[in-house]
Structure 1
Amino acid sequence: MERHLKPEEECAEGSMQQDDMEQIINSNIDFEKYRSRTVFITGATGFIGSSLTKSLLCANRKKNLEIHIVAAIRNKEKARKIYGGLLSRSDLELYVGDITEEIRYEDNADYIFHTASVTASKMMVEHPVCTIETAYRGTRRMLEFAKEKSAKGVVYVSSMEVYGSPDPSLSVVSEQDLGYIDIENVRSSYSEGKRICECLCTAYASEYDVPVKSARLAQTFGAGILESDSRVYAQFAKSAMNEEDIVLHTEGKSEGNYCYIRDVIKALLILGYSGNKGEAYNVVNEESHMQIREMAQLVSERIAKGKISVRFDIPNSALTFGYAPAVRMKLSGTKMRALGWQPEVGMEEAYQRMIHDMKKRIGAGK
């Protein structure tokens, strides 16, 4: 696919992703903390990693921050597709390697964002050993690297799945309210992997004074999602675009916690220089909390304007699709908001922005 960029833009002209980045750099983030620093980002070809990388490139261009951005990747071809002409910029450097192996980077790394992770549910079910190994070994390598470089700030991108099934009597779930995880369910390879990584972060903060914080992300989506993304929000958006009914393979009673990508990137950048080391922070828009079936209905009625319906086709085993167990949980974002962060984009706007961006990319590829 050809990229239609103006020389001064990081994304396609008129894209919502570009608009998001412009709004990020005009927010209350203290970008001076990053001025003339080196920022090392793992998983830089993933949705979160690439969005963070491009946002910092945009900040450089708009604010003359002279940040040196190191995008850690495994696949050069994938990086070329995502970054295109941006790879010729002097403020962007590719580090090619497997994050589960020793990080051999000679220069400074002042801030480190560890976003690399297995994200496909099917992968978690079919390759649970790899899922756990990638999580633990990758995070251990990243923390050793942060210790070696005396990093000023480190952010580990965790997940709300660390909570498992919390106490259903809780009206809201805060960072200390961890619940039950069934370790005999292979899908738990992801959630248990995230838990041990957070424990590792706490250990490095305590024993080696590594200034690492864990960002427990709610389900994150929005403008710029990768074309390969097959998670529920992408499926719902494609159904709306194609005017096809939404088909749920569960009863849809699991309560979802969500956050738009722009708000997530702002939270990560704030955590880079603030927050308490060794601690975790929920990153969630509490106003977007809803059941999967409610989200499907919202897309059907308000995004697709009633042109599609919601249908159910439930298999005998949830493992058929690798879905996480249904849970009742409403995350609290109070702790993160105390750092000056505020989510802005609600569910309906998130879908509108994401679909606008998806349609624009489809048009560009014709």
Structure 2
Amino acid sequence: MRLSTIEREELTKYIETHSFDRDFKGKTILLTGAKGLVGTAITKWILLQNEIKKTDTVLYASTRNPEQVPDYIEAGDQIHYIPHGKEAEYCKAPDYILHAASPTGNQYHMQYPLETFRTNVDGIERLLDLCSQKKDTVLLYLSSEEVYGLPKDDAPLVTEETVGAIDSLHLRSCYPLGKKACEFLCHAAAKEYHLNTRIIRPTVIHGLFQRYEEPRVVNEILRCIVENKDLHMKSDGLTKKCMLYSLDAISAIFTVLLKGENGEAYNASNPDTFLTVRDLADRVFQKFNPSIKIVFENAAKQSDGFLPHRSIVQDCTKLKALGWEPKADLEHIYHVDIARFKK
């Protein structure tokens, strides 16, 4: 597998820090959404772990375009790209299923709300059926902190028991409502049919593996630093979020997969990164490129696909009790990507 120097250094550090190789040795993993940010991070972690730890983990990577193999894959890598929707035909008895596939992007959600919802629900139903074929298969569902909706309190600390309000008459709700429905199916399958299902609710994941042109504000902030241009914001920038480094997210995913309780959900976040979008931009601009600034344009309407102001901090006590801790701060996340894209 071909990796940049930065990717190899970062991945090696995390692989050596954790001991997931013991559980993955000789196992088969089915991964959906293999070419997304999370899927790419999982793929590179597993394949490099095979190289370093000799784990011989076989990866089946589900994607819509299996014939388009990423350029970092080399002959001999223990990975098979398979068609999305036909996972059961190609990987009949996986030891682990990591379900990270989902339509993403505000504009897609607004333009195709029914497709967004149905893709999520149909996908998890198909994989739960596959999970039921082998008694010991463990399925982890990648949900989202958006399932908490819009809490009324300002910056509430939400636990896994917090029930969020989501407007069912708003098209953008197709994504969090789809995630909620999938969580219910995982929970019900664990309780009714005793399937080994776990759920993780990560916050915004960033760093190391996302595409440069990704249409997210955290990526636009990165592009402004690299290209030495001002940030033009269409919102007021007051939505307040946490951020989680991609490798911290993957270590959280593996922790829940291997140690989580069946039918349970786990928050994954880094409360130390809790900032408004504008404060995030100010902070990293001052650190990495003080010459650029924020320019506010006309505030976007909710119909443009932007969520209303949200200020949520996820309580990660439940996940930390399994032995997980986030390691990377904001400066490290942006430092890695600035170095990566400037090269």
- Stretches of structure 2 that go unaligned for 5 or more consecutive residues are none
Name the structure 2 match of 1:364.
none
Name the structure 2 match of 1:3.
none
Name the structure 1 match of 2:262.
277
Distance 1:215 1:307 in 2: 39
Aligned partners of 2:60 and 2:91 also within 8 Å: no
Q: Report the CA distance between 1:94 and its aligned residue.
A: 1.5
Aligned partners of 2:62 and 2:87 also within 8 Å: no
Output one character per residue of 1:48-82: Cα deviation in whole Å (capped at 9) or x when no partner: 0111011011111111111111111111354334x
Of residues 280, 299, 302, the one that matches 2:284 is 299
Distance 1:23 1:174 in 2: 30
- Stretches of structure 1 that go unaligned for 5 or more consecutive residues are 1-8, 361-366
2:76 is the counterpart of 1:89? yes
Matched AA of 2:197? V
2:54 is the counterpart of 1:64? yes
Bigger CA drift: 162-171 or 25-34? 162-171
Name the structure 1 match of 2:337.
354
Aligned partners of 1:114 and 1:155 also within 8 Å: yes
Distance 1:102 1:134 in 2: 15
Q: Report the CA distance between 1:11 and its aligned residue.
A: 1.2
Q: Report the CA distance between 1:252 and its aligned residue.
A: 1.2
Name the structure 2 match of 1:20.
10
Output one character per residue of 1:277-334: Cα deviation in whole Å (capped at 9) or x when no partner: 1111111011111111111111221121x110011112452332x2222112111111
Output one character per residue of 1:81-125: Cα deviation in whole Å (capped at 9) or x when no partner: 4x342xx22521121x233x6731354200110000111111001
Calculate percent identity across the aligned residue pairs. Answer: 28
Distance 1:228 1:156 in 2: 26
Q: Report the CA distance between 1:35 and its aligned residue.
A: 0.9
Distance 2:113 2:228 in 1: 35
Name the structure 1 match of 2:247.
262
Q: Report the CA distance between 1:249 and its aligned residue.
A: 1.3
Q: CA RMSD in A?
A: 1.7
Output one character per residue of 1:149-195: Cα deviation in whole Å (capped at 9) or x when no partner: 33432210110000001241674111111221111111100010100
2:39 is the counterpart of 1:55? no
2:310 is the counterpart of 1:327? yes
Q: Which runs of 4+ in 1 moved over 4 A?
A: none
Compared CA separation, residues 241 and 103, structure 1 to 2 (3 A): same
Q: Report the CA distance between 1:29 and its aligned residue.
A: 3.3
Name the structure 2 match of 1:45.
35
Q: Report the CA distance between 1:269 and its aligned residue.
A: 1.1
Distance 1:205 1:165 in 2: 28
Provide the aligned length of Structure 1 versus Structure 2.
343
TM norm structure 1: 0.89
2:182 is the counterpart of 1:197? yes
1:7-156 matches, within 5 Å, as 10-12=2-4, 14-15=5-6, 17-76=7-66, 78-81=68-71, 83-85=72-74, 88-95=75-82, 97-99=83-85, 103-156=88-141
Bigger CA drift: 161-170 or 280-289? 161-170
